[in-house]
Amino acid sequence: MTAAEDIQTGRALIEQGAPVAGSMSRAAATVVFEPTAAAVQISASFAASLRTVATEAAAVPVPREQVRAGAVLAFAVEYAATQHRSGRPARTDGWFTARAGSRAPAEDVAEAVVAAARRSTDERRVRHLGYLLAEVACSPDLDAELADRALRLTDDLSWRQLALLAGVGRRDRVPLPMAPLPDEPRVWSEWGAREDVADLQRSGLVDPPLPAARPVATLPRLRAADLRLTRRGVLLHRLLALDLLHDDAVTEALAALALPRS
């Protein structure tokens, strides 16, 4: 494949993300593959890493996975452009430089993010995976291993669990309900939502941890207002930019617990 063909297929992949990322997919493709014609800018180094992974991902054989791959790169461009405008530069610590016998860390993480997006059949998660890719690109305090750890943690989380993490993360400005969470809801949908909270506790993403088994009468009743992010929860909240997750999604997640926001 010639260089011109590489550009065409990589650009087309990002544009194919429109069913998930919307009309900005075309603009994102222009930012990556024709920056002089783009209305916004991102780091040249970050754009180069996105060009590489977009060209490689263009060979994905499943059409809907191609859509998600293109969308996650479009969302990465969207977030990177916002960071660029706010004066937050891309890192200059070797993140975009190839290592001896290996690629640049930026390309390794970008490939892992695209793979995670391809697996995300709940496509609402794809936006925040793209934000993770852009966040790591301007965060010299994070390495590839930490980004990979965050992706593995995210892989096990549903959209509702991400929304619950977002709600816990913004609890200081948007208080969570004070009513106790039912331990064994009778309605299946509410039971599933309660299990989502328990799984977040088991995975060490929120405190307090699940208590050891004791007689029911001595167990304290957990309230949503009692939940707090652990350090690993803070990491996910930051990398996935969960501050930007829509309030409606948080409200819906709380409603599933039979605790509508007052």
Ramachandran angles phi, psi of 138, nearest 5°? -125, 25
Q: Is residue 112 part of a domain?
A: yes
Mean pLDDT of 220-239: 94
* 113 within some domain: yes
Residue 2 is predicted with a pLDDT of 53
Percent of the chain with pLDDT over 70: 93
pLDDT of 221: 82
Q: What DSSP assignment string belongs to 101-123?
A: TS--HHHHHHHHHHHHHHH-SSG
Structurally, the chain folds into a number of domains equal to: 2
pLDDT, one tens digit per residue, over 86-123 is 999 999 999 999 988 889 999 999 999 999 999 999 99
pLDDT in tens, 98-108: 988 889 999 99
Q: Supply the DSSP string of 67-105, one letter for each residue.
A: HHHHHHHHHHHHHHHHHHHTT-PPP-SSTTSPPTTS--H
Are 138 and 163 in the same domain?
no
Residues 9 and 137 in one domain: yes
Instruction: Note whether 166 and 242 are within 8 A (CB).
Output: yes
Residue 4: pLDDT over 60: no
Q: Which domain holds residue 188?
A: 159-256
pTM beyond 0.85: yes
Shared-domain flag, residues 125 and 52:
yes
Q: What pLDDT, on a 0 to 100 scale, did the predictor assign at position 218?
A: 54
- Is the model's pLDDT at 259 over the cut of 80? no
Question: Do 13 and 68 belong to one domain?
Answer: yes
> Are residue 118 and residue 29 in the same domain, yes or no?
yes
**154: in domain:** no
pLDDT surpassing 80 at residue 262 = no
Q: Which residue type does 165 have?
A: L
Mean pLDDT score of the chain: 92
Q: Indicate if 207 and 246 belong to the same structural domain.
A: yes
Residue 6: CB atoms within 10 Å: 17
Query: Mean of the pLDDT values across residues 160-189?
Result: 92
Per residue in 140-151, pLDDT (tens digit) is 999 999 999 999
pLDDT band at 206 (very low <50, low <70, confident <90, very high): very high
51 & 127 share domain:
yes
Q: 147: closest CA among 106, 119, 118?
A: 106
Displacement of CA 185 from its chain's centroid (Å) = 30
> Is residue 150 included in any domain, yes or no?
no
